[in-house]
């Protein structure tokens, strides 16, 4: 997907230059005037449009839209990006490229974006551009790959050439997918033109063919354990195959001073910007909540934050005041009858969470991070779900990796699935990932995925 972003950016920049050539074909003086700082202004157009496309999920590796859905996303992305450019040109006139050039450039870029994605979808579906992966093992752990990475989009970057069963190890993988290392693993990898060897044994003690694995590594094959493979390909940490030693030695968990400062700066800037944009909407939501049902406009609830410390989260009230009259904490459910009419709408559109921007500014939450849970649920989940408390090593977020990759959770099973994405974020969080999540959150809100 990074390659696709570079392609889009380059094509848009060329489209702006080409649009200028068309627009000023009979005006040499105007053309010369435009060429001054043309690259910088064209690059600005490219960044605005590709940033907008990222908001609409057009750089997500797991996205599998139909052609009509793909075209709709591109059209909405260009509409949003064009609006952002007009605001920018109003605020900073020297960046303006002219109506004629902009209109032609947008049309050329729009056509190229559609053609590029349709072409890339056909081109990269074949195995010729994918990394050939051989799995060492054919038991429970190896079969997880077939279970969790079974979709075509899950295997966009690799193709499985087979599973190697080892003596004394259980075999659960379909026999049609097994390959026998008659002359050893090294020879098998060369015969199958393998680029990566994934170690997925159920029992490693005394079973790992270390000498052959070392030869594979020396010959340029990537040797990867199953946990790292899942982390890279699925964007999550598989709880069933990840042991504490892997979490300790696999890297990540950046809590350095530069990272803390950059994250806090990102939080303050993002929260203040959204507050400036959304305060009229917040006033309207507050009025609607007040008019529809008696009770306070804001709802305060204790949540568990960084290092297990509790804080008071603020939301617009979306349920009746007697929603938990018996004092028993409950997860929200689909079509929850405790929600008011206004509440159902603001929950679906995530408007109920806007007051949490003040939690971010107070430093109790981050803009991006694992969603905070109530103490009652945390106590229960920590007992039932492995590594659950690891998510509390950083501040909870207004949005997060789990929110853009998994629908709303309302059970222990859902919490376990979301934890896989939360742990990935905790291990790999950074400014680039935060920006990506923020952009994809806009897509989640616009397409109303996950809200209840």
Task: Tell me which residue of 443, 445, 417, 451 sits closest to 234, measured CA to CA.
Answer: 417
Tokens at 290, concatenated = 């007040």
DSSP E strands in 296-404: the ranges are 298-304, 310-316, 366-368, 397-399
| pLDDT at residue number 61 | 60
The residue with greater pLDDT, 266 or 66, is 266
User: Which residues are 300's β-sheet partners?
Assistant: 314
Rounded Cα gap, residues 26 and 273, in angstroms: 43
Residue 9 dihedral angles phi and psi, to the nearest 5°: -60, -45
Distances (CA, A) of 269 to 54, 256, 273, 276, 435: 20, 20, 6, 11, 12
Report percent pLDDT > 90 for the chain: 47
| pLDDT at residue number 38 | 78
| Number of Cα atoms under 13 Å in the Cβ half of residue 433 | 21
**How confident is residue 452, by pLDDT bands cut at 50, 70 and 90?**
very low
Are the CB atoms for 419 and 393 separated by under 8 Å?
Answer: no
Block residue for tokens 């077939």: 146
Distances (CA, A) of 233 to 255, 347, 424: 24, 32, 11
Q: What is the DSSP string of 185-226?
A: HHHHHHHTT-SEEEE--S--TTT--HHHHHHHHHTT-EEEEH
Q: Radius of gyration of the chain from Cα atoms?
A: 26
Rounded Cα gap, residues 170 and 165, in angstroms: 8
Are the CB atoms for 164 and 134 separated by under 8 Å?
Answer: yes
In the predicted model, what is the mean pLDDT of the chain?
86
Query: For residue 113, is pLDDT > 70?
Result: yes
DSSP 432: H
Enumerate helices (H) and strands (E) in the chain, giving the number of each. 17, 8
Domain range 127-234, CATH architecture: 3-Layer(aba) Sandwich (3.40)
3-state secondary structure 259-318: HHHHHHHHHHHHHHHHHHHHHHHHHHHHHHHHHHCCCCCEEEEEEECHHHCEEEEEEECC
Rounded Cα gap, residues 264 and 366, in angstroms: 8
Tokens at 248, concatenated = 């300790």
Per-residue pLDDT tens over the stretch 285-327: 999 999 988 889 999 999 999 999 999 999 999 887 766 655 5
| pLDDT at residue number 323 | 61
Distances (CA, A) of 67 to 71, 74, 76, 124, 329: 6, 11, 14, 16, 43
The residue with greater pLDDT, 333 or 425, is 425
Where are the domain boundaries for CATH 3.40.50.20 in the chain? Answer: 127-234
Buried b (16+ CB within 10 A) or exposed e, 392-408: bebbbbbbbbbbbbbeb
| pLDDT at residue number 248 | 87
The terminus-to-terminus CA distance of the chain in angstroms comes to: 30
| pLDDT at residue number 324 | 62
Per-residue pLDDT tens over the stretch 135-180: 999 999 999 998 888 877 778 778 999 999 988 888 999 999 999 9
Per-residue pLDDT tens over the stretch 195-242: 999 999 988 887 888 999 999 999 999 999 999 999 988 889 988 888
Other beta carbons within 10 Å of 322: 9
The residue with greater pLDDT, 409 or 361, is 361
Mean pLDDT of 432-436: 84
Mean pLDDT of 372-378: 93
Distances (CA, A) of 6 to 11, 46, 62, 104, 435: 9, 10, 18, 21, 17
| pLDDT at residue number 126 | 60
| pLDDT at residue number 68 | 74
Tokens at 356, concatenated = 């949490």
| pLDDT at residue number 5 | 87
Rounded Cα gap, residues 26 and 3, in angstroms: 36
Task: Tell me which residue of 175, 77, 192 sits closest to 440, measured CA to CA.
Answer: 77
Query: For residue 409, is pLDDT > 70?
Result: no
Report percent pLDDT > 70 for the chain: 89
**How confident is residue 28, by pLDDT bands cut at 50, 70 and 90?**
confident
Rounded Cα gap, residues 423 and 417, in angstroms: 10
């Amino acid at each position: 997907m990074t390659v696709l972003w570079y392609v889009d950016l380059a094509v848009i920049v060329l489209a702006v230059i080409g649009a200028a050539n068309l627009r000023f074909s009979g005006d040499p003086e105007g053309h010369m005037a435009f060429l001054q700082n043309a690259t910088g202004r064209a690059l600005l157009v490219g960044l605005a449009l590709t940033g907008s496309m990222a908001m609409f999920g057009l750089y997500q590796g797991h996205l599998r839209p139909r052609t009509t859905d793909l075209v709709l996303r591109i059209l909405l992305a260009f509409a949003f990006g064009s609006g952002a450019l007009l605001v920018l040109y109003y605020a900073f006139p020297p960046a303006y490229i002219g109506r004629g050039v902009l209109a032609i450039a947008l049309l050329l870029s729009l056509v190229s974006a559609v053609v590029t994605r349709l072409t890339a979808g056909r081109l990269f579906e074949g195995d010729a551009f994918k990394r050939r992966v051989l799995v060492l093992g054919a038991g429970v752990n190896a079969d997880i790959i077939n279970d969790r990475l079974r979709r075509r989009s899950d295997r966009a970057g690799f193709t499985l050439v087979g599973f190697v069963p080892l003596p004394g190890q259980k075999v659960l993988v379909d026999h049609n997918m097994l390959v026998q290392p008659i002359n050893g693993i090294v020879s098998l990898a060369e015969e199958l033109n393998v680029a990566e060897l994934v170690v997925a044994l159920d029992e490693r003690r005394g079973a790992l063919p270390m000498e052959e694995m070392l030869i594979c590594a020396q010959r340029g094959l990537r040797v990867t354990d199953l946990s790292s493979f899942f982390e890279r390909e699925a964007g999550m940490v598989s709880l069933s195959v990840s042991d504490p030693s892997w979490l300790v030695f696999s890297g990540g968990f950046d809590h350095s001073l530069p990272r803390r400062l950059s994250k806090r700066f990102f939080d303050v800037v993002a929260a203040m910007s959204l507050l400036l944009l959304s305060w009229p909407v917040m006033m309207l939501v507050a009025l609607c909540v007040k008019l529809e049902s008696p009770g306070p406009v804001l709802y305060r609830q204790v949540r568990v934050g960084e290092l297990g410390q509790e804080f008071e989260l603020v939301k617009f009230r979306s349920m009746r005041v007697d929603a938990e009259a018996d004092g028993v904490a409950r997860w929200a459910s689909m079509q929850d009858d405790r929600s008011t009419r206004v509440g159902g709408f603001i929950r679906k559109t995530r408007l109920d969470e806007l007051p949490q921007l003040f939690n971010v500014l107070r430093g109790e939450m981050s803009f991006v991070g694992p969603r905070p849970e109530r103490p009652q649920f945390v106590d229960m989940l920590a007992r039932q779900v492995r590594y659950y408390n690891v998510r509390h090593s950083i501040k909870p977020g207004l949005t997060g990796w789990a929110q853009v990759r998994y629908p709303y959770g309302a059970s222990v099973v859902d919490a376990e699935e979301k934890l896989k994405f939360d742990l990935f974020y905790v291990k790999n969080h950074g400014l680039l990932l935060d920006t990506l999540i923020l952009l994809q959150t806009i897509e989640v809100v616009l397409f109303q995925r996950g809200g209840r």
